[in-house]
Amino acid sequence: MSHPSSHPRRIGVFDSGFGGLTVLEAMLRQLPAAEFLYLGDTARLPYGAKSRETVARYAVSSAEFLLAQGAEYLVIACNTASALALDAIRAAVPVPVLGVVETGANAAQTHSRSGDVMVIATAATVESHAYLAACRERKLRAIEKACPLLVPLVEEGWIDHPVTREVLNIYFSELLDQARVAALEPDTLLLGCTHYPLLRRQIENALPRSIRVIDSAEVTAAQVAASVRVPGGGATPPAPHFFATDSPEKFRRLGSRFLGQPIHHVELIDLESSTPG
Ligand code: DGL
């Protein structure tokens, strides 16, 4: 990651939509003195089925917006943007930028005893093989699987739903077959998408007990908390400021579920007019 030397008061958190609120929820608990700005690029969601060029263009404009709002440290809470656009974002902004692929891979390295890891994510993240590369750098063997049905199921609120349970069973039976063919003995599953922590219990129930599920929301918050020193000062920081590029009402409604607490105000912004072609 970029040098964690900063003492940021304002931390910008970016996701394609609502899913990154699972990361913000964990950071609010672990960094109580920080002030958070959260941007959900809901007008251009989903990122998970788009090309690297498009995701990079969207993610860079979002990062620049957060910087213009005074963010001194950026957390790219979107796995797809972290996988496809982290270098482009780091090249575009002069503040430290942390992505969730590296934090997830660090956690897998800490927890896996067998050294064999499975990753589930969006199609774009899997096609980028960013997790595979991050795992290899850490001497882990990994297999990846795209689970494109899970984002819409979560957005529909079908968390504890028979259809979701069946979809998970099918995905995991294919994933475990993939592991057998590759002669891996996985003991860890990395949730490589912001939406999946909401299905954590259902995912754990669909897997053998020997497999530990790692949620990048918690580990990202822990790594931010460990790498920055937020200046204190006694006063309680202001509540997070939420920005969305589409439908503040939908953001409030769905976002409250991801954040686990009510969201009262969301500011609508337009990134398109400042983003070329
Ligand atoms: N935020 C995306 C991710 O973590 C999931 C939603 C999308 O496809 O935009 O990969």
Residue 138 shares a structural domain with residue 78:
no
3 state SS of 256? helix
For residue 231, report the distance from its CA to the centre of ligand 1, in Å. 31
pLDDT at 105 over 50: yes
So what's the pLDDT on residue 218?
87
Is 194's C-beta closer than 6 angstroms to any atom of ligand 1? Answer: yes
So what's the pLDDT on residue 6?
57
Q: How far apart are CA 125 and CA 197, in angstroms?
A: 16
Amino acid at 220: T
Residue 5 lies in a domain: no
So what's the pLDDT on residue 230?
77
Taking CA atoms, 199 is separated from 15, 71, 137, in Å, by 18, 30, 28
Q: Select from 187, 216, 245 the last residue of a domain.
A: 216
Residue 117 shares a structural domain with residue 171:
yes
Is 19's C-beta closer than 6 angstroms to any atom of ligand 1? Answer: yes
Testing ligand 1's pocket by substitution, the residue of 39, 127, 193, 216 carrying the most ligand atoms inside 8 A of its CB is 193
Q: Do 124 and 49 meet the contact criterion of CB atoms below 8 Å apart?
A: yes
pLDDT at 175 over 80: yes
Residue 92 shares a structural domain with residue 192:
no
Residue 66 lies in a domain: yes
So what's the pLDDT on residue 232?
67
For residue 149, report the distance from its CA to the centre of ligand 1, in Å. 12
Residue 3 lies in a domain: no
Is 125's C-beta closer than 6 angstroms to any atom of ligand 1? Answer: yes
Which residue's CA is minimally distant from atom 6 of ligand 1? 46
Taking CA atoms, 253 is separated from 68, 200, 230, 257, 260, in Å, by 27, 21, 30, 7, 11
Which residue's CA is minimally distant from atom 1 of ligand 1? 78
List the Cα angle 275/56/138 in 5-degree steps: 160
Strands in 32-113 per DSSP E? 35-40, 73-76, 97-99
Q: How far apart are CA 196 and CA 120, in angstroms?
A: 9
pLDDT at 137 over 50: yes
User: Of all atoms in ligand 1, which is nearest to the CA of residue 125?
Assistant: 10
For residue 191, report the distance from its CA to the centre of ligand 1, in Å. 12
Residue 109 shares a structural domain with residue 63:
no
Residue 29 shares a structural domain with residue 90:
yes
pLDDT band at 227 (very low <50, low <70, confident <90, very high): confident
Q: Which residues are catalytic?
A: 78, 193
pLDDT at 57 over 80: yes
So what's the pLDDT on residue 233?
65
How many domains is the chain partitioned into structurally? 2
pLDDT at 3 over 70: no
Q: Select from 173, 191, 216 the last residue of a domain.
A: 216
So what's the pLDDT on residue 237?
86
Residue 113 shares a structural domain with residue 210:
yes
Residue 187 lies in a domain: yes
Give the predicted TM-score (pTM) of the model: 0.92
For residue 79, report the distance from its CA to the centre of ligand 1, in Å. 6
So what's the pLDDT on residue 2?
42
Handedness of CA 38, 42, 44, 49 (dihedral sign): positive
Domain that holds residue 26: 10-99+220-274
Residue 257 lies in a domain: yes
**Mean pLDDT confidence for 80-87:** 97
